[in-house]
């Protein structure tokens, strides 16, 4: 997918992550690799490796390959690849728009926005969901009909912490475990694989945008979602949590007539273009 910045310029993007997912889920060899990788033992070892000192060896080449500007982040000596992956950005590099009526981005990401209707489907990490299947709740999905679905896709080079987009009180987190459904192959026929990634969501009873549903979607194999709060009073710009190694996604669902999303983001989405946004910047206006 093409990326554009907020000035309308096309941004060079590395589609290696998308190509890898295509290979893993749409080729016979890739599916075999997936079945090995999702084995609990393999995933556990990979997670241990990402937390180990030896994984620091991969940091320099990873940062260079993904054009990561380390001057934007707090200087420190990293103890593992995950320590590097969850690095903290310098506050002055991500000023938070504190105007109460401005809807802000909760994270660095590539953003698309969609209307929520009774028959909407959304593609999240190469898997198609209805809102009810994503939430595992028809009742909750109904609450957001007529509203807006904001899909923030974090690529591997992005800042991997996420933040609250308004003051308010949040509910406890609900966790939905990831599952894989496969059909055994017959002879040499291709066989489908359907996945649901692990995800967590809560409701933010916000001061300016109603009841905002916030969901984090983790990576397929190694990635971990770390949320800091259960039920709590929170404030705009407060760090909500982080993703450990793996591609990640943040989703916001807004109720009907709560915000108008900026026109450049709307237009880009209509043209299958993702908009590059930074944590703390305005992406819409409250109604």
Read off the pLDDT of residues 19-57 as tens digits, 9 standing for 90 and up: 666 666 666 776 666 666 666 666 677 777 888 999 999
Q: Quick check: is 171 in a domain?
A: yes
Q: Which of 50, 73, 24 is nearest to 193 (CA)?
A: 24
Q: Quick check: is 56 in a domain?
A: no
Q: Which of 33, 57, 37, 36 is nearest to 47 (CA)?
A: 37
Q: How far apart are CA 188 and CA 276, in angstroms?
A: 42
Q: How far apart are CA 168 and CA 161, in angstroms?
A: 19
- 60-to-56, 86, 109, 180, 238 alpha-carbon distances in Å: 8, 15, 22, 34, 29
Q: Answer yes or no: pTM beyond 0.85.
A: yes
Q: Quick check: is 79 in a domain?
A: no
CA 240, 214, 258, 267 dihedral sign is: positive
Q: Which residues are catalytic?
A: 108, 248
If you count them, how many residues does the chain have? Answer: 287
- 69-to-66, 89, 181 alpha-carbon distances in Å: 9, 10, 39
- Alpha carbons within 13 angstroms on the beta-carbon side of residue 223 total 23
Q: Quick check: is 39 in a domain?
A: no
Read off the pLDDT of residues 136-187 as tens digits, 9 standing for 90 and up: 999 999 999 999 999 999 988 899 999 999 999 999 999 998 776 554 444 3
Host H or E run for residue 126:
none
Q: Quick check: is 40 in a domain?
A: no
| Range from 98-107, 187-196, 274-283 carrying the lowest mean pLDDT | 187-196
CA-atom Rg of the chain in angstroms: 19
Q: Quick check: is 208 in a domain?
A: yes
Host H or E run for residue 216:
strand 211-217
Q: Quick check: is 127 in a domain?
A: yes
Q: Quick check: is 174 in a domain?
A: yes
Count of CB atoms situated within 10 Å of the CB of 13: 16
Asked if 233 and 169 touch (Cβ cutoff 8 Å), the reply is yes
**How many structural domains does the chain have?**
1
């Amino acid at each position: 997918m093409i990326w554009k910045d907020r000035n309308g310029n096309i941004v060079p993007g590395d589609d290696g992550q998308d190509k890898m997912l295509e290979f893993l889920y749409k080729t016979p060899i890739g599916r075999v690799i997936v079945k090995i990788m999702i084995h609990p033992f393999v995933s556990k070892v990979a997670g241990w490796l990402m937390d180990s000192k030896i994984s620091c060896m991969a940091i320099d080449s990873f940062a260079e390959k993904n054009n990561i500007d380390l001057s934007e982040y707090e200087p420190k000596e990293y103890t593992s690849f995950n320590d590097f992956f969850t690095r903290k950005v310098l506050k002055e590099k991500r000023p938070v728009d504190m105007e109460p009526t401005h809807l802000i981005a909760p994270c660095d990401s590539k953003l698309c926005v969609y209307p929520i209707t009774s028959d909407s489907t959304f593609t999240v990490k190469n898997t198609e969901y209805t809102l009810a299947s994503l939430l595992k709740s028809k009742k909750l999905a109904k609450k957001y009909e007529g509203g807006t679905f904001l899909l923030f896709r974090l690529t591997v080079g992005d800042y991997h912490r996420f933040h609250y987009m308004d003051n308010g009180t949040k509910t406890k987190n609900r966790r939905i475990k990831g599952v894989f459904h496969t059909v055994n192959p017959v002879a040499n026929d291709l066989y489908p694989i359907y996945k649901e990634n692990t995800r967590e969501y809560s409701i933010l009873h916000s001061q300016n945008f109603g009841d905002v549903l916030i969901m984090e979607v983790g990576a397929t194999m190694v990635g971990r979602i770390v949320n800091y709060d259960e039920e709590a009073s929170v404030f705009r710009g407060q760090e909500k949590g982080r993703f450990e190694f793996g591609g990640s996604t943040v989703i916001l669902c807004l109720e009907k007539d709560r915000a108008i999303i900026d026109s450049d983001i709307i237009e880009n989405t209509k043209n299958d273009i993702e908009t590059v946004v930074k944590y703390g910047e305005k992406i819409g206006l409250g109604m």
